[in-house]
């Protein structure tokens, strides 16, 4: 039979510092939920829940801008197409959204987090005394050796200049001018862009992942939460597409119209050997 200290350890096993619950009482990071509802904005609530303290109004607005920017990019994104197909297979809206969110992985949704990690490493070098230019060149060389030629946060296979990135940049410059953010990572991002542009006629612009990464670092977010914030933002588009698809009433939607078919490139028709010695 289990000992009493085991029971204590069962409660300790699920220790958490986020939300305190008692009958008739819910406190998020110490604040009674009824004081928060209707008084702070949803981005401020997101900040509080993820990080433990309230932002200032300007900080909450900047987080809100990032959340607005990433909401959707159309049904050709795998996350969106997956959610649309999922809803036609007879699972709930929650499971269709989960199907889309599940694929916002290292390649599809992780560029922001990776860019934050890269800039954080460069920042640590600079704080340790390295010159910014050499720290940037060194970090890019290491990245390319380990991960290939794409630098996360720069370039886009579709948008030459990404309207989301340009708009976020304007908001960031205003926030630097107003002293809301320090501008340290804005400068680092610019240094990376300049290094990538050296000797190129059409250098890659900073994309939305990169711009959001810079802003989230300025706001003090941990790198992993870069991916978290993107998930919260893109979940909106995933939900909207799943719901749009749900209203169509289609069943078992495949990726292309059935009459197009797919190209089979495998082994042509063949026969099992006769006899009993089959595996």
Provide, rounded to whole angstroms, the least separation between the CB of residue 129 and a copy of itself: 26
Residues 240-269 that bind a copy of itself (CB under 8 A): 240-244, 246, 251-269
At closest approach, how far in Å is the CB of 24 from a copy of itself? 6
In this complex, which beta carbon is closest to a copy of itself, that of residue 95 or of residue 125?
95
What string of DSSP letters covers 111-140?
Answer: HHHHHHHHHHHHHHHHHTT--HHHHHHHHH
Beta pairing class for 31-32 and 19-22? unpaired
d(CA 202, CA 195): 13
Window of 48-56, 127-135, 138-146, 186-194 that interacts with a copy of itself by CB under 8 A = 48-56
Say if strands 25-28 and 19-22 run parallel, antiparallel, or are unpaired: antiparallel
Strand partners, 206: 154
Query: In this chain, which of 21, 129, 198, 202 binds a copy of itself, going by CB under 8 A?
Result: 21
- In this structure, what token pair is assigned to residue 11? 């409660």
Please report whether residue 274 would count as binding a copy of itself according to CB under 8 A: no
Number of residues that bind a copy of itself (CB under 8 A): 149
Report in angstroms how near the CB of residue 52 gets to a copy of itself at its nearest: 7
Dist. CA 94–CA 85, nearest whole Å? 14
* Nearest distance, CB of residue 58 and a copy of itself, angstroms: 8
Q: Interface with a copy of itself includes 191 (CB under 8 A)?
A: no
Q: Of 202, 189, 240, 265, whose CA–CA distance to 75 is shortest?
A: 240
Binding residue for a copy of itself, selected from 164, 207, 215, 217, defined by CB under 8 A: 164
Interacting positions 119-148 with a copy of itself (CB under 8 A): none
Which of helix, strand or coil describes residue 229?
Answer: helix
Contacts of 106 (CB under 8 A, 6+ apart): 114
CB of 134 to a copy of itself, least distance (A): 25
Tell which positions 211-230 bind a copy of itself, by CB under 8 A.
Answer: 222, 224-225, 227-228
């Amino acid at each position: 039979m289990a000992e009493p200290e085991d029971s204590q350890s069962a409660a300790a096993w699920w220790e958490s510092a986020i939300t305190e619950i008692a009958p008739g009482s819910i406190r998020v990071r110490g604040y009674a939920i009824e004081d928060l509802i209707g008084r702070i904005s949803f981005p401020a609530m997101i900040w509080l829940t993820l990080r433990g303290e309230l932002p200032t109004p300007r900080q909450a607005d900047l987080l809100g801008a990032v959340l607005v920017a990433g909401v959707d990019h159309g049904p050709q994104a795998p996350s969106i197409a997956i959610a649309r197909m999922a809803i036609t297979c007879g699972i709930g809206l929650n499971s269709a959204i989960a199907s889309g969110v599940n694929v916002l992985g290292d390649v599809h949704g992780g560029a922001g987090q990776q860019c934050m990690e890269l800039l954080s490493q460069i920042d640590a070098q600079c704080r340790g005394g390295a010159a910014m230019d050499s720290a940037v060149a060194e970090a890019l060389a290491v990245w390319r050796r380990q991960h290939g030629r794409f630098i996360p946060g720069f370039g886009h296979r579709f948008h030459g200049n990404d309207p989301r990135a340009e708009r976020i940049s304007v908001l960031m410059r205003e926030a630097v001018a107003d002293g809301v953010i320090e501008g340290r990572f804005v400068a680092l991002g610019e240094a990376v862009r300049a290094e990538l542009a050296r000797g190129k006629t059409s250098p890659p612009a900073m994309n939305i992942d990169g711009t959001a990464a810079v802003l989230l670092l300025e706001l003090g977010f941990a790198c992993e939460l870069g991916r978290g914030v993107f998930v919260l933002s893109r979940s909106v588009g995933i939900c909207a597409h799943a719901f749009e698809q749900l209203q169509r009433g289609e069943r078992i939607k495949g990726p292309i119209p059935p009459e197009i078919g797919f190209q089979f490139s495998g082994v042509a028709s063949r026969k099992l050997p006769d006899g009993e010695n089959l595996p």
